[in-house]
Amino acid sequence: MSNSEFKGPKIVFENVTKEYPNGVKALDNVNFTIEPGEFVFLMGHSGSGKSSLIKLMMLEERQTSGKITIGKDDLSDIKGGKIPYYRRKIGVVFQDFRIIKSKSVFENVSFAMELTGEKRKEIARKVKLVLGIVGLQRKINEMPDCLSGGEQQRIAIARAIVNVPGLIIADEPTGNLDPKNSVEIMNLLQQINQRGATVVIATHEKELAERMGKRIIMLDHGKADTGDDARVDNGGESDE
């Protein structure tokens, strides 16, 4: 894959509020811009609005008011049957990996492509390519239970990038990993970002986020600090 293959979109939140039926405002007049190909952390305590913000970007929920634009898409205009096509532009990585334990590494990564009817030869080519990127090319036929937690998260990342999405959303991707594997996963996500993808990571691990030297958007009771002053300048590299 080359830089041109990951075409990271611009993300714009304009006066976005998300209020639930019980009156709780998960997001309160949030404004920020994430530039194409930027790597940004979302940070905040439990209940700060991180999860709601991700759900809005995924179109799992809708904002109460305001405007969200991702690339050329005004999310308010995407309805019903168009949502699955929109989501194909996004790769998602979760804390709990969400891999299928009864399927091999290859099968876990190829599963989504098989559902869309892609040709077997093309599936095999793409899977081998992304497993090389995440460093699992020698584990292609292994079962998940034979792999470490860090390796299982690499399967999830390979699955997220196999269709070359412009946007990668990672929700607490290191939450179940030890410090060494956490750094390795963050470095891997940074490598994908360097190929052109826009990367948005929700995390509570402040020290790990600061070591990456990227912008941090802080959320607190639904309010957002856009992070212009929250960047730690270490050249963008994390320490091993």
pLDDT single digits (tens) 23-67: 999 999 999 999 999 999 999 988 899 999 999 999 999 999 999
Q: When comparing pLDDT for 83 and 96, which is higher?
A: 83
Q: What contacts 24+ positions apart, CB below 8 Å, involve 101-104?
A: 101/143, 101/144, 101/145, 103/143, 103/144, 104/140, 104/141, 104/142, 104/143
Residue 19 and residue 180 in contact, taking contact as beta carbons nearer than 8 Å: no
- CA atoms in the 13 A half-sphere facing the CB of 195: 18
Q: When comparing pLDDT for 70 and 3, which is higher?
A: 70
Q: pLDDT tens-digit profile of 105-158?
A: 999 999 978 877 889 999 999 999 999 999 999 999 999 999 999 999 999 999
State residue 230's pLDDT score. 47
What is the C-alpha separation between 171 and 51, in angstroms, rounded? Answer: 8
State residue 1's pLDDT score. 53
Alpha-helical (H) ranges within the chain are 50-57, 83-87, 105-115, 120-133, 149-161, 179-194, 206-212
90: left (phi over 0), alpha (psi -120 to 50) or beta: beta
State residue 118's pLDDT score. 86
pTM of the prediction?
A: 0.88
Residue 131 and residue 138 in contact, taking contact as beta carbons nearer than 8 Å: no
Assigned token pair, 86: 């929109």
- Domains of the chain (ranges; CATH) run 1-89+206-229 (3.40.50.300)
State residue 60's pLDDT score. 96
Around Cβ 139, how many Cβ atoms within 10 Å?
A: 19
What is the C-alpha separation between 213 and 192, in angstroms, rounded? Answer: 16
